[in-house]
Chains A and B, each alone.
Chain A
């Protein structure tokens, strides 16, 4: 192997092959993916996934900017791929279409915190508990989730009375008498985003299980 050109050509060929395999072919396979359009039980035409509301889309930016993805994944792995579904993190595996409208796809690579692909579903009919962002350990004992107090404002209670949005805090997190802790716009956006995370919609490539196990542990 004394000749530069042989080396050069060999390397270029290898790199072009790899590029074709992991950039061009995936683009060909996934680039034209469209939302799934179906008719629901009430006869209405529904399209999945739908674009997020403005507030939730802005919340996705807050989620990205704080680096939440370092601890939280958003991918439920198939039933034979671990305990994700048994754990109640989702009713079916996550597929490519679920992330179709994400401006930045944040699948995550380490589960220091729980998977959030269906966090909105786990909330049920409750609204997002904002106190979870201010003081996570007050909601989940021993939580190692980093609190984000900078998304909240501590201010004196106004003469018109306490804000309806003020957090109900416990223990050391309680603000001094006469003050209250209220969420800022970014906290509400992040809450809207987290509440919007739900993927339990039947897709041709990812059917929902026929019988739901009501006793599935959370």
Chain B
């Protein structure tokens, strides 16, 4: 695959131009990851310990659940994906991010608004729209800020050096185009002029599926398409597969809008179209998986943290694609819909596929931008290992619990208290998995903070000098 020559985007002293906004977005997202997981852990505990902190209105289960989802999706996944996406556009285009100052300020506003928003959810309660729980006025600011950041991405792409584009660029552009469309539409139809009746649920579902499949997934795939061949040192096997995979993904993913409304009070054709699209997503999943797995340099896994995270992500991507296709049809949704089972699929998608893809980029990009390696070599190993263990427990407990819950609910003779009682053990296991998973993420936080301290304190080599050495030495990797 043709790619501009590996000129580090940041080889000159002006590296701040690309570095600062990207580092800010990446660093901020790590803090949100920990905050979101903390809230999620408390929410998970309250699923089986309803009396925990019951007298405090701010931490009802519903508020914690909405606040944690918001912190994770908008604070961690979106912010880190955006930072990496901008870096990828600059790197693949052989240029720098357009208007880095504006990007930095937009990042500041994003984080400020989100902080207010999560506090707002805890104090005032969630909006009731699962894809956008933030209070209405703050959503307006977030829509403006994210649109500005997306436009900066386009400006960066427009500055690229001549030459063929690469899959990573296509996927980032798809994401940057989808986000404003989703954000502006949901802002207008859910907040400014709320649609009547179940139309709200339809648009909310479409926005939620879009945020997952047209915003987060393309950003994660861009990271995989760039870093697996780049670090592994093997070009993509088939550019034609990449093209087919890309267009098929964008096309089918954009028609899965009502996948969560099967059997719900909406016209049946919406669910039918979404089921068909969810199953047909297997086509791009196959193309993309083949492309990524074929170049997977197994021998290089030992020496690159980034590559190990990318491998976990690529495997989860294939599994979640197959799982979605198998459980989307109406007969499966009748049993598994409205249970913990979709929670398992969603966790595998977010924490198994999107998260590790972004962390592959994080471990590869941050040392380049900061000008030094991560100080602790053991920490990424612990991070990955505990992530796999925690995620495994989470997904299996939600999946098995949801499966049993679904079959019990489908049988009208089983009383609800019985269904609820049988679910308890699985909810407790889920809390355990989540705790391990959250603990794993403290490893990356500690390592990043240590790196930041080393960069700021005046000991050791000056950051920039060290960077020049590693960048020339690392060019051949």
Chain A contacts to B: CB under 8 angstroms = 1-2, 4, 7-8, 10-12, 14-15, 17-19, 21-23, 26-27, 29-31, 33, 64-71, 73, 75, 77-78, 80-88, 93-114, 136-137, 140-150, 216-218
Complex partner residue of B60 from A10, A113, A114, A146, CB under 8 angstroms: A146
B437 within 8 A of A: no
B233 within 8 A of A: no
B339 within 8 A of A: yes
Determine if A15 and B177 form an interchain contact, defined as CB atoms under 8 angstroms apart. Answer: yes
Residue pairs across A and B with Cβ atoms less than 8 A apart, 27 shown, are: A1-B243, A8-B177, A11-B178, A14-B251, A18-B254, A23-B185, A26-B203, A26-B266, A66-B63, A70-B65, A86-B412, A96-B197, A97-B197, A98-B265, A102-B197, A103-B194, A104-B129, A107-B201, A109-B342, A111-B339, A111-B405, A112-B340, A112-B423, A137-B50, A143-B420, A144-B47, A217-B412
Determine if B60 and A142 form an interchain contact, defined as CB atoms under 8 angstroms apart. Answer: no
Given the interface contacts A67-B60, A67-B65, does A14 sit within 8 Å of B417 by beta carbon? no
Complex partner residue of A82 from B66, B130, B196, B410, CB under 8 angstroms: B410
Determine if B185 and A19 form an interchain contact, defined as CB atoms under 8 angstroms apart. Answer: yes
Distance A109 CA – B62 CA, assembled complex (angstroms): 12
B126 within 8 A of A: yes
Complex partner residue of A30 from B124, B125, B199, B411, CB under 8 angstroms: B199
Distance A105 CA – B410 CA, assembled complex (angstroms): 24
Determine if A67 and B62 form an interchain contact, defined as CB atoms under 8 angstroms apart. Answer: yes
Complex partner residue of A69 from B51, B128, B405, B421, CB under 8 angstroms: B128
Distance A82 CA – B424 CA, assembled complex (angstroms): 22
B192 within 8 A of A: no
- Chain A interface, >50% SS class: loop
Across the two chains, which residue of chain B brings its CB closest to A112? B47
Given the interface contacts A69-B128, A75-B264, does A18 sit within 8 Å of B197 by beta carbon? no
Distance A84 CA – B410 CA, assembled complex (angstroms): 7
Determine if A143 and B197 form an interchain contact, defined as CB atoms under 8 angstroms apart. Answer: no
Complex partner residue of A27 from B54, B195, B263, B340, CB under 8 angstroms: B195
Determine if A114 and B125 form an interchain contact, defined as CB atoms under 8 angstroms apart. Answer: no
Distance A12 CA – B178 CA, assembled complex (angstroms): 9
Distance A203 CA – B405 CA, assembled complex (angstroms): 31
**Knowing that A30-B267, A65-B125 are A-B contacts, what are 5 other residue pairs whose CB atoms are under 8 Å apart, sorted by A's residue number?**
A7-B165, A30-B266, A70-B62, A83-B412, A96-B266
- Chain B interface, >50% SS class: helix
| A114 vs chain B, min Cβ distance (A) | 5
Max chain B Cβ within 10 angstroms of own Cβ: one of A29, A101, A136: A29
Complex partner residue of A143 from B214, B339, B417, CB under 8 angstroms: B417
B91 within 8 A of A: no
Interface 0/1 of B34-63, CB less than 8 Å to A = 000000000000111011001111001111
Contacting A at CB under 8 A, from B230-277, are 243, 247, 250-251, 254-255, 257-258, 260-261, 263-267, 270, 273
Interface size band for B: 35 or more
Distance A10 CA – B173 CA, assembled complex (angstroms): 11
Given the interface contacts A77-B263, A81-B263, does A8 sit within 8 Å of B47 by beta carbon? no
Please, which residues of chain A bring their CB within 8 A of the CB of B163?
Answer: 2
Contacting A at CB under 8 A, from B348-381, are none
| B288 vs chain A, min Cβ distance (A) | 16
Complex partner residue of A8 from B55, B56, B127, B173, CB under 8 angstroms: B173
Interface 0/1 of B407-425, CB less than 8 Å to A = 0011111011100110110
Max chain A Cβ within 10 angstroms of own Cβ: one of B206, B247, B263: B263
Determine if A146 and B177 form an interchain contact, defined as CB atoms under 8 angstroms apart. Answer: no
Distance A76 CA – B198 CA, assembled complex (angstroms): 14
Determine if A144 and B201 form an interchain contact, defined as CB atoms under 8 angstroms apart. Answer: no
Please, which residues of chain A bring their CB within 8 A of the CB of B273?
Answer: 21
Across the two chains, which residue of chain A brings its CB closest to B411? A83
Max chain A Cβ within 10 angstroms of own Cβ: one of B201, B335, B340: B201
Determine if B125 and A64 form an interchain contact, defined as CB atoms under 8 angstroms apart. Answer: yes
Please, which residues of chain A bring their CB within 8 A of the CB of B270?
Answer: 22, 26
Please, which residues of chain B bring their CB within 8 A of the CB of A19?
Answer: 181, 185
Determine if A1 and B165 form an interchain contact, defined as CB atoms under 8 angstroms apart. Answer: yes
Please, which residues of chain B bring their CB within 8 A of the CB of A27?
Answer: 195, 199
B13 within 8 A of A: no
| B436 vs chain A, min Cβ distance (A) | 22
Determine if B412 and A87 form an interchain contact, defined as CB atoms under 8 angstroms apart. Answer: yes
Please, which residues of chain B bring their CB within 8 A of the CB of A64?
Answer: 125-128
B17 within 8 A of A: no
Interface 0/1 of B110-134, CB less than 8 Å to A = 0000000000000011111110000
Distance A98 CA – B202 CA, assembled complex (angstroms): 15
Please, which residues of chain B bring their CB within 8 A of the CB of A73?
Answer: 338
Determine if B424 and A144 form an interchain contact, defined as CB atoms under 8 angstroms apart. Answer: yes
Across the two chains, which residue of chain A brings its CB closest to B167? A1
Please, which residues of chain A bring their CB within 8 A of the CB of B409?
Answer: 82-83, 87, 111
Across the two chains, which residue of chain B brings its CB closest to A93? B265
Please, which residues of chain A bring their CB within 8 A of the CB of B51?
Answer: 147
Distance A70 CA – B43 CA, assembled complex (angstroms): 11
| B281 vs chain A, min Cβ distance (A) | 14
Distance A82 CA – B413 CA, assembled complex (angstroms): 12
Distance A2 CA – B250 CA, assembled complex (angstroms): 18
| B121 vs chain A, min Cβ distance (A) | 9
The 3 nearest A-B residue pairs measured at CB:
A67-B62, A86-B412, A65-B125
Across the two chains, which residue of chain A brings its CB closest to B419? A111
Distance A22 CA – B251 CA, assembled complex (angstroms): 14
B334 within 8 A of A: yes
Please, which residues of chain A bring their CB within 8 A of the CB of B247?
Answer: 10
Across the two chains, which residue of chain A brings its CB closest to B180? A15
B170 within 8 A of A: yes
Determine if A96 and B267 form an interchain contact, defined as CB atoms under 8 angstroms apart. Answer: yes
B32 within 8 A of A: no
Complex partner residue of B61 from A21, A96, A104, A146, CB under 8 angstroms: A146
Please, which residues of chain A bring their CB within 8 A of the CB of B127?
Answer: 64, 104
Determine if A111 and B338 form an interchain contact, defined as CB atoms under 8 angstroms apart. Answer: yes
| A139 vs chain B, min Cβ distance (A) | 11
Please, which residues of chain A bring their CB within 8 A of the CB of B338?
Answer: 73, 75, 77, 108-111
Please, which residues of chain B bring their CB within 8 A of the CB of A105?
Answer: 128, 197-198, 200-201
Please, which residues of chain B bring their CB within 8 A of the CB of A143?
Answer: 50, 417, 420
Distance A87 CA – B335 CA, assembled complex (angstroms): 14
